[in-house]
Amino acid sequence: MPNSPSPSLPASPTLAAAVALALAASLSGCIRIAGNDSATAASAPASGVVDAAQASAEAAASTASAAATVAMAAASAASAGSLLVATANGAMGPATNAQRAAGEQLSRQGAGATVPACSGCHGLRGEGNAAAGFPRLAGQSSAYLAHALASYGDDTRRNPVMQPIAKAMDAGQRQAAAAWFASLAPSAAPPATAMAAASSPAGDLKRGRQLADVGEAARNVAACASCHGPDGAGTSAAIPALSGQPAAFLVTALQAWRDGSRDSDPDHRMPAIAKGLDDIDVAAAAAYYASLPVPGQAWDARPAGSLPVTAPGPASAASR
Ligand code: HEC
Ligand code: HEC
């Protein structure tokens, strides 16, 4: 059995893209596919707002088990097509096909009496449900999705629907669900964005775009695009995509930041930003982001190099 995996070409384009990412990440030194390079894995650079020291510590702590997983994956690569997927910053460790398969099963069938099927609300491909206000999960990073589930679990994010579900999930189930949804391309979802654009007053969309691209300096509101990206697709694994999310979900999130029922931002920036928005601005920002097209790729399929370490400034946003 060779040391470096040579997976047979996977059938699905998503997997093919994931292979490409794993190979690209391997070349750039972000993560090694061979299981014997734990030093490199432990010192892999973290991007974005994820704390580099924490990421390194986590990587170091999980090196032994990760190395074992890597070795197993390499051993079974030729026969089973297992492959490693680097999350954008390496902080989550490799997602395995086994995790994604477990996540898919959880999504379709739930687990026991306490964890319902995610697909009932979030859709079979994580596309969400614009009419009901259930968020799209496809297109988000596994790091963000796992963090969101942890936040419901530890009460830093309160929601009557998701809290009981997240609390009933163990760490492995959360990681599996996160790995599954991060592997799905949002483009498979029926676009609700045209509907959102058509049903929103033009004034809202204009004001929303202004907040997104410029912010509101008088109230200390930074341009949303400086973190969420000029296209609203997120700029790091810690920053969620907002584009094409149901407007009602975005309004709920902004109101939760304002009233303090959500305090899940690791850097505690969103509460202050949302408190700088009045009701009209909340509606406007939500309408604007709901009207943007969903990200074109699964998070896992994004080329690592396309994720800026520092978020782009308003200048790049203004050129949209
Ligand atoms: C009964 C409907 C329902 C079911 C079933 C459900 N969810 Fe949710 N989910 C929601 C709603 C509603 C929200 C938005 C809650 C909020 O505003 O914080 C949400 C939010 C989330 C979020 C946060 C998304 C974001 O962008 O912040 C994650 C992650 C999530 N759900 C994962 C899951 C997983 C995994 C399962 C299956 C184990 C699941 N959900 C099952 C209704 C549901
Ligand atoms: C300094 C960076 C930064 C800026 C600027 C910023 N955000 Fe955020 N935003 C974040 C982070 C980080 C999160 C995820 C927090 C968490 O983990 O719960 C987030 C989460 C959100 C969410 C919740 C999404 C979800 O899926 O649950 C919404 C809605 C949101 N931001 C809207 C905005 C709007 C609107 C603006 C501009 C007025 C803005 N943000 C500006 C960093 C930022």
CA distance linking residue 218 with residue 314, whole number of Å: 16
User: CA-CA-CA-CA torsion for 10, 15, 21, 22, nearest 10 degrees?
Assistant: -60
Q: Is residue 318 part of a domain?
A: no
User: What tens digit of pLDDT does each residue of 160-180 get?
Assistant: 999 999 999 999 999 999 999
- My answer on whether 139 and 224 are in the same domain is no
Nearest CA to ligand 2 atom 6: 224
- My answer on whether 199 and 147 are in the same domain is no
Nearest CA to ligand 1 atom 2: 121
CB distance 143 to 87 below 8 Å: yes
Nearest CA to ligand 2 atom 24: 240
Phi–psi pair at 20, nearest 5 degrees:
-60, -40
**Closest-CA residue to 273 (of 203, 234, 232, 226):** 226
CB distance 254 to 285 below 8 Å: yes
User: pTM for this one?
Assistant: 0.74
One-letter amino acid of 22 = A
Residues in the chain, pLDDT under 50 = 1-92, 188-189, 305, 308-320
The pLDDT assigned to 318 comes to 34
SS3 216: strand
What residues are in contact with ligand 1 under a 6 Å CB criterion? 106, 115-116, 118, 120-122, 134-135, 137, 140, 145, 148-149, 159, 161-162, 165, 177, 240, 249, 252-253
Q: Which tokens hold the place of 167?
A: 């609390």
Nearest CA to ligand 1 atom 16: 159
Q: Is residue 216 part of a domain?
A: yes
- 254 CB under 6 A from ligand 2? yes
User: CA-CA-CA-CA torsion for 99, 181, 6, 90, nearest 10 degrees?
Assistant: -90
- My answer on whether 124 and 165 are in the same domain is yes
User: For residue 64, what are the domain limits?
Assistant: 13-88
Nearest CA to ligand 2 atom 15: 265
Q: How far, in Å, from the CA of 84 to the mean position of ligand 1?
A: 26
Boundary of a domain, candidates 56, 88, 120: 88
Q: How far, in Å, from the CA of 244 to the mean position of ligand 1?
A: 16
Boundary of a domain, candidates 136, 162, 182: 182
Under DSSP, the state recorded for 94 is -
Q: What is the chain's mean pLDDT, rounded?
A: 73
CB distance 5 to 79 below 8 Å: no
The pLDDT assigned to 279 comes to 95
- 228 CB under 6 A from ligand 2? yes
Q: How far, in Å, from the CA of 270 to the mean position of ligand 2?
A: 5
Atom of ligand 2 nearest to the CA of 277: 38
Q: Is residue 55 part of a domain?
A: yes
The pLDDT assigned to 126 comes to 95
CA distance linking residue 108 with residue 106, whole number of Å: 6
Terminus-to-terminus CA distance in the chain, angstroms? Answer: 50
Boundary of a domain, candidates 182, 200, 233: 182
CB distance 183 to 100 below 8 Å: yes
Nearest CA to ligand 2 atom 36: 224
The pLDDT assigned to 237 comes to 93
Q: Is residue 311 part of a domain?
A: no
- My answer on whether 137 and 36 are in the same domain is no
- My answer on whether 209 and 297 are in the same domain is yes
Atom of ligand 2 nearest to the CA of 144: 17
CA distance linking residue 295 with residue 185, whole number of Å: 8
Ligand located closest to 254 CA: 2
CATH of the domain at 211: 1.10.760.10
- My answer on whether 293 and 251 are in the same domain is yes
Q: How far, in Å, from the CA of 119 to the mean position of ligand 1?
A: 10
**Closest-CA residue to 13 (of 136, 255, 188):** 188
Q: How far, in Å, from the CA of 233 to the mean position of ligand 2?
A: 11
Nearest CA to ligand 2 atom 23: 253
- My answer on whether 196 and 287 are in the same domain is yes
The pLDDT assigned to 93 comes to 59
Phi–psi pair at 73, nearest 5 degrees:
-65, -40
Q: Which tokens hold the place of 283?
A: 């509606």
Helices 63-80 & 52-61, crossing angle to 10 degrees? Answer: 70
Q: How many domains does the chain have?
A: 3
- 143 CB under 6 A from ligand 2? no
Q: Which of 243, 273, 279, 310 to mutate to test the pocket of ligand 2 (most atoms within 8 A of CB)?
A: 273
- My answer on whether 197 and 176 are in the same domain is no
- My answer on whether 118 and 160 are in the same domain is yes
- My answer on whether 200 and 297 are in the same domain is yes
CA distance linking residue 293 with residue 197, whole number of Å: 10
Distance of CA 179 to the CA centre of its chain: 10
- My answer on whether 119 and 173 are in the same domain is yes
- My answer on whether 296 and 216 are in the same domain is yes
